[in-house]
Amino acid sequence: MAFLLERAREPTHRVAAFRTAAAVVDTLGPEELDRRIRTRTLTDLRGIGPKTGAAIVQAHAGEVPEYLARLEESHGELVPLADDVAEFRALLRGDLHVHSDWSDGGSPIREMAEAAIGLGHEYVALTDHSPRLTVANGLSAERLERQLDVVAALNEELAPFRILTGIECDINVDGSLDQTDELLGRLDVVVASVHSDLRADSTAMTERMLTAVADPHTDVLGHCTGRLLVPREQREGRRQRPRPESTFDAEAVFSACVEHGTAVEINSRPERLDPPLRLLNLAVDLGCEFAVDTDAHAPGQLDWQGNGCERAVECGVPPERVVNTRTAEDLLAWTAG
């Protein structure tokens, strides 16, 4: 539901209604949301009216809500960031989760870097997928080594801007990371994410995530629930349907992130917006560090950080606990540590 805010182009009072409804839905677990839709009791919740309720039902079913379609036809400007969100966004020095056409992104590394420079970033972490994710053209060890050489050459040309070497590494079912220790040790940033067996029971998923978080190579836990709020297109015309959250012991996983110095990603993609607000609030309360990332697969998506900043502000995330507010030198000292 909250993805509507990325594209809403209505007057402020109507956007506020969607913000309120999005916040209400984010407090619901997936089973409760399913039950509310099935029993037609969404509008019994304070803050959800007939229009926003209909949009939630249509989005949950994988459809583009009729109301959203009408907005996109009749309004041309995105709603600007609120002042406090804009101030938070201005503190970010880079983005730690970005894809290129080496895996499932749509643009060359240079284009992604130049777009980041245009946004005022000081650095961007190139985190193409690991080999197990074949649907995303994941990088074998050999391809990743070649990419490191390409990045080194680009960094000489683009200095003082820096492309940080990295990977979005698949978390295997046993919690191990889908790349060699030697290569992971050479990278600046490792984002570890679950992409398979997302419907595993809570105990199994918790153990899997705890093992990954404890791995000394893991710097950031990516899109922790794996949810998809709306359908999306993939490579070669594949279409992913909406997906509910994975279930796991969030308190145990976030506590492990604090213990092992692993940041929790605030994923800014409008179809993810992960973690949900109730889990983001929990991570804040437990003392986690965070990375506000776009998970961008195209240059224009690098500007999605405002989505994550909006959620960070709403949940009271202290900027000093966001690792990509740091200089490249301080960030790399943190990842090395």
In 10 A of CB 252, how many CB atoms?
A: 14
Exposed, middle or buried: residue 286 (CB in 10 Å: 0-12, 13-18, 19+)?
middle
**What pLDDT digit, counting tens, does each position of 282-307 carry?**
999 999 999 999 999 999 999 999 99
pTM exceeds 0.95, yes or no: no
Q: Say if residue 202's pLDDT is above 50.
A: yes
**What does each C-alpha distance from 294 to 186, 305, 309, 333 come to in angstroms?**
23, 6, 10, 22
> Are 256 and 288 in contact, with CB atoms under 8 Å apart?
no
**What pLDDT digit, counting tens, does each position of 87-102 carry?**
999 999 999 999 999 9
Per-residue pLDDT band at 79 (split at 50, 70, 90): low
Q: What is the pLDDT of residue 232?
A: 64
Q: What residue spans define the domains of the chain? A: 1-75, 80-336
Domain 80-336 sits in CATH at: 3.20.20.140
For the segment 3-8, the average pLDDT, to the nearest whole number, is 47
In 10 A of CB 77, how many CB atoms?
A: 6
Q: Which amino acid is at 318?
A: P
